[in-house]
Amino acid sequence: MPRWIAFVVGLVAATVLMLHVRRYPVLTYDDAFISLRYAQRLLDGHGLTWTEGPPVEGYSNLLWVLGCALLAAAGVDLLEAPVVLGISSAIATIASLIYAFPPRTWVESVPAFTGAMFIALAGPIGLWAVAGLEGCLVAALLAWSFVLLRPLLDGKTDDWKSVLAPSIPLALLCLSRPDAPLFIVIICAFLLLRSRSLQAAARAVALGLLPGLVTLAQVVFRLAYYGDWLPNTARAKVAFTAARLESGTQCVASAGLSSYALWVPALFALYVAWRDPSRRPRILLGLTLVAGWTSYTATVACQPYGFRMLIPSYVLLAFVVAEALDWVQAHGRAAQTGAWLLSVTLLSAFGWAQQAEKNIVLAREQRPPVTELAATIGNTLREAFGDRDPLLAVDAAGAIPFYSGLRSIDMLGLNDAHIARHRSESFGQGIQGHELGDGAYVLSREPDIIVANRLGSGRLAFVGGREIETDPRFDQDYRRVLMHGDHPVPTDFYAFCRLEGRIGIERSDESVRIPGYLFADGKGTRAQTDGTKPLGARFERFSEATLEGVELPAGTWRFTPVGDGAFELSARPLSTGARPVRLREDAVLVLAESSVLDVTVTASPPALLVEVFAERVAN
């Protein structure tokens, strides 16, 4: 009978979780695609790398990357792997609470039911079960570690297996996040302080041995493979400043306001710990871990979107509340009834507050998600230029590089070792992960395409973008192009494209090919394709489209527009200050010396300009 009760409780909580999860679009967080790009390149035989060149550790969730890659290797679509792993981890977290508080009767199932339902209703867990990063995996590993620690905490066993059992999920936890060793330090210190014998102290130290060895092994791997002892993400994000502490405290406070129905009863557990010595170690360790992790998060890493970094605190508080309810229900039938009434009240308040939290609402209601729009940008760039192997520079290093499959530069430094070390004196005062940049370095790499901000804005953004805009090479070498893509959702975006190079003007001794898309300046034209022709400039109204700064050597040149529609061409040599020369079918342009031209194309819709072909007919 108790097993059936546990099964039903788990089924109810898992059903609520799935209904909750369905409210969120999947893979909504751009950084999730950084992990997926590492997984994809690992599967393709390129190792744990984000792009070609020296490898950089731009992830902070090794086990998650490997888990996604393993699922994909087993036949799961790579884009579905994070969802499968996230939901499975959330269900495993629910299972841990039911295992820790096995219901003996229906009436006595309130601790298991309440703890499991807190997990199922928690906004961060519902969101991150499908948003694409490791939050729920961390939750599951921490939850099962906490469950398997109970024999050690209760002092009911001298078996060394009781040390090995929790050390395995704790070791895996250290592979899930580079900051997870904080949990191990707190747990081992707690056990050491409670130890009353050398054997108990030895078990406390031994508990941290396997997680410590795993952490050390990852550091050795990091040094050997990436040439650094810290993840590159830490160099690009972590700063201990008053500004970070202030924003982190505000983030924690915001999460606290929407989860009062969880942490307020957790405070009651302190009274339970005072009254019941047998429960005291479990409650005090749980609250100590909550305090330690929440303080760390407030200092270093709290981001309001979905409160991913606070998921461990939600899980531990659910255990503490379940422990308190287990104590309450042990005091007779009336107490059991009161526990159920309290449980229903708390869960109702918690569920409502979670769904009303503005940062959860933002993730739930943003349709289409930013990552779907970014997917269109990536797909468009891949279809247009993938066969030419261009170099792409981006601010958003997730979905656009992932879907494009192009060699890339991360202009914010998460996946670039040089930029991550290029800190200014004001580092730590701005938005975490968006403070770095080195415009001169990016331009020295000569990227063929630059996509600014999250979705290809018309102005370059952040530190590196502002530096690029003031660099004379940018005005000379790049042109802003308005592009359009349709898959998976229709999207217009700007890209800054290099005039010369892999996707730019093609030259030979006697001819010059100017790609039509370079004329798509957004003033009546945009770059797109009809599916049968290369990317070109689509004229959406009668307009003139001018491409400035086209260099031609001396000679007599005949210009021919290539595409669908009627076009008129004109060119104006800038060096002579001459008036524009209309280039009709038989007209030629005579250049006595090498010149820089402004080339203008005039057309009416629905003309599509694929290229302008210039042929030298005489020297």
Question: What pLDDT shows up at residue 284?
Answer: 96
Query: Is residue 527 in some structural domain?
Result: no
Q: What's the pLDDT tens digit per position in 353-369?
A: 999 999 898 888 877 78
Q: What is the DSSP letter of 573?
A: E
The answer to whether residue 384 is domain-embedded is no
pLDDT exceeds cutoff 60 at 81: yes
pLDDT of residue 576: 58
Q: How confident is the model at residue 535 (pLDDT cuts 50, 70, 90)?
A: very high
Structure confidence by residue, pLDDT tens digits, 37-73: 999 999 999 999 999 999 999 999 999 999 999 999 9
Q: H-helix or E-strand containing 550? A: strand 543-552
pLDDT band for position 573 (cuts 50, 70, 90): confident
Which amino acid is present at 39? A
Please give the tally of structural domains in the chain.
2
Any domain includes 56:
no
Spatial distance between the Cα atoms of 397 and 377, rounded to a whole number of angstroms: 12
Share of the chain above pLDDT 70, in %: 98
Query: What pLDDT was estimated at residue 303?
Result: 85
* Mean pLDDT (whole number) for 431-456: 95
- Average of per-residue pLDDT across 214-227: 97
Query: Are the C-beta atoms of residues 408 and 398 closer than 8 Å to each other?
Result: no
Q: What per-residue confidence (pLDDT) applies to 106?
A: 87
pLDDT category of residue 374 using cuts at 50, 70 and 90: very high
Residue 404 domain flag: no
| Across 174-178, 474-478, 558-562, 591-595, least confident range | 591-595
Residue 326 lies in a domain: yes
Residue 602 structural domain: 508-515+538-619
Q: Which run of H or of E encompasses 468?
A: helix 462-469
Contact present, 289 and 191 (Cβ < 8 Å): no
Reference 13, options 144, 85, 142, 109; nearest CA is 109
From residue 186, alpha-carbon distances to 180, 190, 310 in Å are: 10, 6, 17
Quote the tokens at residue 612: 């302008």
pLDDT exceeds 90 at position 187? yes
Tell me the average pLDDT across 560-584.
Answer: 81
CATH code (residue 570): 2.60.120
Q: Note the pLDDT tens digit of each residue in 292-325.
A: 999 999 998 788 889 999 999 999 999 999 999 9
Residue 158 pLDDT more than 90? Answer: no
pLDDT band with cut points at 50, 70 and 90 for residue 1: low
pLDDT value at position 584?
72
**First-last CA distance in the chain:** 96
pLDDT per position as a tens digit, 477-528? 999 999 999 999 999 999 999 999 899 999 998 999 999 999 998 889 999 9
Query: Which of 345, 365, 385 is the last residue in one of the domains?
Result: 365
Tell me how crowded residue 208 is: count the other CB atoms within 10 A of its CB: 22
Q: Which amino acid is at 256?
A: G
Residue holding tokens 């495993």?
A: 92
Residues in the chain: 619
Contact between 491 and 483 (Cβ < 8 Å): no
What integer pLDDT is reported at residue 424 of this predicted model? 87
The string of pLDDT tens digits covering residues 245-256 is 999 999 999 999
User: Could you give phi then psi for residue 4, rounded to 5 degrees?
Assistant: -65, -40
pLDDT at 421: 94
287-295's contacts with Cβ under 8 Å and 24+ in sequence apart are 287/316, 287/320, 288/186, 288/190, 289/146, 289/183, 289/186, 289/187, 289/316, 290/266, 290/316, 290/317, 290/320, 292/182, 292/186, 293/182, 293/183, 294/252
The three-state secondary structure class of 592 is coil
Domain boundary among 335, 365, 395: 365
**Amino acid identity at 219:** V
User: How far apart, in whole angstroms, are the C-alpha atoms of residue 25 and residue 4?
Assistant: 33
What's residue 611's pLDDT? 94
State the virtual CA torsion across 531, 534, 540, 543 in degrees, nearest 10: -170
The arithmetic mean of pLDDT across residues 239-243, rounded, is 90
Rounded Cα distance between 164 and 467, Å, is: 53
Phi-psi region of 433 (alpha: psi -120 to 50; beta: other; left: phi over 0): left
pLDDT score, position 586: 67
Residue 470 lies in a domain: no
Q: What are phi and psi of 561, to 5 degrees?
A: -80, 140
**Mean pLDDT over the full length of the chain:** 93
- pLDDT, mean of residues 454-468: 94
Please tell me the least confidently modeled range out of 120-124, 209-213, 214-218, 591-595: 591-595
Tell me, what's the pLDDT at 301?
73
The last residue of one of the domains, among 334, 365, 396, is 365
By mean pLDDT, which of 7-21, 157-171, 207-221, 474-488 is the weakest? 157-171
Per-residue pLDDT at 157 exceeds 90: no
Average pLDDT estimate for 188-203: 90
User: Residue 60 pairs with which residues in a beta bridge?
Assistant: none
State mean pLDDT over 559-585: 81
pLDDT of residue 12: 97
User: Which amino acid is located at 330 in the chain?
Assistant: A
Q: Compute the distance between CA of residue 8 and CA of residue 113 in angstroms, rounded to an integer.
A: 10
Q: Write a three-state SS string for 269-337.
A: HHHHHHHCCCCHHHHHHHHHHHHHHHHHHHHHHCCCHHHHHHHHHHHHHHHHHHHHHHHHHCCCHHHHH
